A and B are shown apart, each in its own frame.
Chain A
C-alpha cells in the first residue's frame, strides 16, 4: 500500500490542474458571455465554398 504515497499527490496534482484551469477560465472572462459563446459556434463565414477551394 506504500504506492499511495505517490498516488495521493498525483491525484491531488491532477485535481489541482483542473482547478487552475477553472480559475484561469473564470478570471479571464470565459464565462462573461455564455449566450454569445453558445451562438458563435454556429456562425459561419459567409464566403462561397468555391473561393475557399481555389485559394488553398
Chain B
C-alpha cells in the first residue's frame, strides 16, 4: 500500500479500511435549524484510527462557519454544527473527497435504549464497587479483631456496613430485582431469581444479626456478589449494544435522501421515507437507488451487483425496473417510484433479516443452559439445609444462617462471569487481527458450524475485474486508458487501474451499453463492446472483454477476469482438511461461477441465485441438519445470511450485510480460519469455566450445609472463584497457543 507514503491518500491512513468510493447523496433534508445554528448528524464509514479522526474533523472544521465538528470513532457518528450559508452537501462532499463513506443519520431515530442501559449498568457497577470496597474495609477489621474487638465496637462496624450496603443494594440490585420479579410474574425462573433471593436474604438476616449483636454479618458478601455480577452483566450489555448499533446503522442506510422532481420540473432533495409511489425521481450519475423505480427517461448502465450478485453492469432503458441498491453508472435517469421506501427491495430484505433474527434467537446460549441446571440445584440444597438444621438443631436462627450462607457461597458470580469474560477476551483477540465481532454468542455458534456457504463476487473474488496482460493489448493500453478515464464502467476503471495515471482524452462521449468514442488529432478512437468496434463474431474468449479500435486499424481485445483472493485457494484447502463442507452460492452467470469453482477446487456450486432462492437454499441445507456459516457481501446475500446459523461479511461489504453478519473481517479470506480457531478456543474456555464453577460448587456446598461457612470464608471463596474463571478466560488472548 502507498497509504503511508502519501499522507492525503484516500481513506484510512493506517490502511485499516479500504477507501469508500460510494457517491454521497444530498443530505440537506436532514439539516436541523435552531436559532440560526444548523445541526447535522452523519454516519461516517471507514474511519478507524486517529489519523482518520484528525483528517475528517480537520477538513470539516476548515469549512467556513463550522462551530463544532466531532466524530465518535467508536461508532462512526459525527455531529456538526455551523452557522451561515454552508450547506450540508458541502460538508458531506468534503468528507467523501477524503475517501470515507458518509450518509445522513437522523439523530431522533435512535433513542438508544441500549446505550442508556449500558450506562446504568456501569453506574450501578461503580456504586456496588464503592460499597463493596468500603464494607470490606470495615469487615476486615471485624474479622481481624475476633476475640479482641468488643461486641459494641463490632456492632457499630456492622451497623456502618449496613448503612453503606442498604442504598447500594437497592440501587445496584434493582436490575436483578426487576428482572427476577418480571420472570416470577410470568411463572418463569431466570438467573436473577436466585441472585435476588440470595442478596435479599443475606441482607435481611445480616440486619437481624446486627440488631441482635450476633458475630456474623454478610453485608460485604451481598454487595460483593452484586459487584461481580454487574461486571459480567456490563460486559454482556456492551457486546450486545455493539450488535444493536450495527442494526441501527442499517436504519441509517435507509435514511437516504433522493432527488424528487415536482410538477414544475424543479428538482429538490427529499427524505426517502417521504416518497410515495408515483413520485418522479432523478437518479444522478454515480448515485445509488434507494427506492424501486420504473425508468421513464434516460439510457444508462447500472451496476446491480449488490442486488443480484452479477459482476457486470446491465443496460437500462425506459420501461425497465430499477431496484433499490443499484448504482447508476452512466447518464442521469428519471423514473417513477414504484413503492414507498418502506416497501422497496431494501426493506424487503430488512424484513427477511428480522424473520431470520427471530429464528436465530431460538438458539440457547451455553450460559442459559448452565443456569437452568444451576437454579433448581441451589434452591433445593438451601431448602434441604434449612429443613435439616431446623429438625436436628431446632434453632430457626441457625437454620436460616446456614441456608443463607449456602445461597451466598454457591455464588453464581463464577457462573455469570464464565461466558461474558471469555467472549470479551476472544473478541479482543479477533479485533487485533482486524475482525470485528458483533455479538458474544456468535462465537458459540461459529464454533459449532460444519458447512460454509460462500458468495462469489467480492467474497471469494476481489469483486472488481482486473486486466489480463496480453502482448497485443499492452501497446494499445495507454491510448485506450485515455478514453477509459472518462467512464465509470467497472471495465474502464480496471483498464485505468492497469494503465496507471495519465490524461483524459478530450470530448469523450459514452453510448450506454456500447462504449466510448473520441476524436484525438483527427483519429477516431472507439472503446467498448465487440459490436461497437464493428466486430460481428462473438469471440470465443470467456470472461468480460473490451475492444479498442484506433482509426481503421484492427481492433485490439482487452480481456478481464475477476480474480479470486490470493489466499482463497489455501483457505478452502485448509477448511476442507478440517472436515468442513464448502460451497459457492452466487447470483452470477454459471460460466463465471464454474470457472472459479474449478480453480478453488470447490465441488458444489450454484449460479444465478436470486436473494429468495439463496434463502431457500440455506433453509434446505438447514433442514438437512447442517450448521451453516454464510460468508457474503451483497444485498442479495443479506437475507440468506440472516437465516444461516452464523454469518460473516468482508469489510468491503454492503452495509446491510455487515449489519446482519455476526462478524466483519478486514484481512483477507484467511481471517475465516482465525475466526474459527478463536471461536473454538472461546467455546472450549467457556465450557472449562462452567466446569470450574461446578467443581467450586461441589466443594463449597458441603462446607456450607454443614455450617462451617463464616463471612470471611464466603468472601474469599467468592472472589477466588470469580478470579479463577477470569484468569482462565484471559488465556484466550495468549498468542500462539496451540489449539487442543
Contacts and interface: CB of A to CB of B under 8 A. Distances in A.
Interface of A: 1, 8, 11-12, 15-16, 18-19, 22-23, 26-27, 31-36, 39-40, 42-43, 46
Contact of A40 (B53, B115, B122, B130): B53
Contact of B50 (A27, A32, A34, A40): A40
A10 to B, nearest CB: 12
B72 A12 contact: no
B595 interface: no
Contacts of A27: 119, 123
Nearest to A1: B153
Nearest to B53: A39
Interface residues on B, range: 20 to 34
A36 B138 CA distance: 40
Given A26-B123, A36-B72, A12 B50 contact: no
A18 B130 contact: yes
Contacts of A11: 134, 137
B313 to A, nearest CB: 37
B126 interface: yes
B259 to A, nearest CB: 34
A39 B137 contact: no
B130 A16 contact: yes
Contact of A15 (B58, B72, B74, B130): B130
Nearest to A19: B130
B126 A22 contact: yes
A8 B126 contact: no
Contacts of A1: 153
A14 B165 CA distance: 17
A42 B73 contact: no
B66 interface: no
Given A33-B74, A36-B74, A39-B73, 7 more contacts: A1-B153, A15-B133, A15-B134, A19-B130, A26-B119, A27-B123, A43-B54
Contacts, number: 56
B127 interface: yes
A32 to B, nearest CB: 7
Listed from nearest, the 5 A-B pairs whose CB atoms lie closest are A39-B50, A36-B73, A19-B130, A35-B73, A43-B54
A31 B126 CA distance: 13
Contacts of A35: 73-74
Nearest to A23: B123
Interface in B110-137: 115, 119, 122-123, 126-127, 130, 133-134, 137
A19 B132 CA distance: 12
B593 interface: no
Most A Cβ at <10 Å: residue of B50, B71, B115, B137: B50
B73 A33 contact: yes
Interface of B is mostly: helix
A23 B72 CA distance: 21
A39 B127 CA distance: 29
B160 to A, nearest CB: 6
Given A16-B130, A42-B50, A43-B53, A36 B122 contact: no
23 contacts: A8-B138, A11-B134, A12-B134, A12-B164, A15-B133, A16-B130, A18-B130, A19-B130, A22-B126, A26-B123, A27-B119, A31-B119, A32-B74, A33-B74, A33-B75, A36-B71, A36-B74, A39-B49, A39-B53, A40-B53, A42-B50, A43-B50, A43-B53
A16 to B, nearest CB: 7
A1 to B, nearest CB: 8
A12 B131 CA distance: 9
B573 to A, nearest CB: 36
B518 to A, nearest CB: 41
Contacts of B75: 33
A23 B172 CA distance: 13
Interface in B42-76: 49-50, 53-54, 58, 71-75
Contacts of B119: 26-27, 31
Interface string B157-170: 00010001000000
A31 B71 contact: no
Contacts of B127: 19, 23
A12 B58 CA distance: 45
B122 A31 contact: yes
B219 to A, nearest CB: 14
Nearest to B77: A33
